[in-house]
Structure 1
Amino acid sequence: MPALPGNGERDAPFLRAASDSDRHDPLGPSLRPSIGNWQRPCKSHYWVDRGKIEWSAEWTPEQIAAGRAAEERRREHYYAELYAGWWWVRIWRWLKSIMSS
C-alpha cells in the first residue's frame, strides 16, 4: 500500500467499477483515473502507473469539487448504461421524473 505524504498514513485504494480501470503490465499494475484522498489532512493525489506512484500537485478546493462532480457523472453514466434495459429501472426513472416536475 502506498504511504501518504504529510500524515504518514497508509491507503488501500479500492476499484470503483463505475470509473476505474486496472491494467496489468510486466512492470506492475496501473490504475486510472487518479486516486485522491480529499478527506485526509494531506489531501494526497496520485496515479499508479506500471507499479510506480506518480504524485500530482495539490488541488484547490474548487478542483476537488469539480473532480468529485465529474466522478459522480461518470458513476451515473456507468450505472445508467449497466441497467438501461431493465424494466424496473425505466419505471423508476419515469417515477422520478414525475416527482421532480
Structure 2
Amino acid sequence: MRHHTLEHRFVRNAPRELEPGVLYISMEYATAVHSCCCGCGERVVTPFTPTDWRITFDGESVTLNPSVGNWNQDCRSHYVIERNRVVECGRWSDVRVEAERRRDMRAKAAYYGRAAASARPDTPPTAHAVDTEQTSGIWSRFWAWLST
C-alpha cells in the first residue's frame, strides 16, 4: 500500500483531479471518492447506500465499511479505511470475488425489491412476503449447490 493514512475532506462535489491520500466525502451526494490507496491512481467511488458502503465520522476521523475491493482495476487492491488509516486486506481469489458479487446482487435485489414492492399500492403486502420467501429459498438452495 502506498498510502497508509488518508486525510478526509467534506466537499459538495469531488474534484476532477484527485489528490492522492485524500478521501473526498460528499454528504449531499452520499458518496466518497479517493485515488486508489495502492498508488495506481485509479479513481475509487464508494456510494453510501443500505447495500453498499457506510461512513462513520467521529469528529476527528472517518471509517468506511465494508472494505474497498478494487476487483475491476488492474491493481486489485483490497483495504479498509478505519479512523483515517488504510489497513491492507489480503487478496481475494477470483472465486471469492465472484461469490461477493453474487452476494451483493442478492442484497440489492432483496432490499430494493422490498422498497419497490412497498411503493406499489396495488401489490398486497402478503403477496410480496410470499414472493420474497420463495426467492430467498431458491437463492439458498442455489448457494448451497454452488458451495459444494
| TM-score band, normalised by shorter chain | 0.7 to 0.9
- Structure 2: runs of 5 or more not aligned: 1-33, 132-148
Larger Rg: 2
Normalised by the size of structure 2, how large is the TM-score? 0.52
Q: Is the 8 A contact 1:32 1:48 kept in 2?
A: yes
Instruction: List structure 1 segments (4+ residues) > 4 angstroms apart after TM superposition.
Output: none
Match of 2:100 in 1: 67
Kindly report the root-mean-square deviation, in angstroms, between the aligned alpha carbons of the 2 structures.
2.7
* Deviation, structure 1 residue 68: 0.8
- Structure 1: runs of 5 or more not aligned: none
Q: Which moved more, 1:36-45 or 1:23-32?
A: 23-32
Q: Which structure dedicates a bigger proportion of its chain to strand?
A: 2
Structure 2 vs 1, CA of residues 26 and 38 (structure 1 numbering), >3 Å: closer, same or farther?
same
Structure with the bigger RCO (C-alpha within 8 Å, sep 6+) is: 1
C-alpha separation in 2, matches of 1:55 and 1:68? 20
* Partner AA of 1:50 in structure 2: R
- CA deviation vs aligned residue, 1:23-67 (integer Å, no higher than 9, x gap): 111341111111111111110111111111111111111111111
How many residues matched? Answer: 93
Identical residues among aligned pairs (%): 21
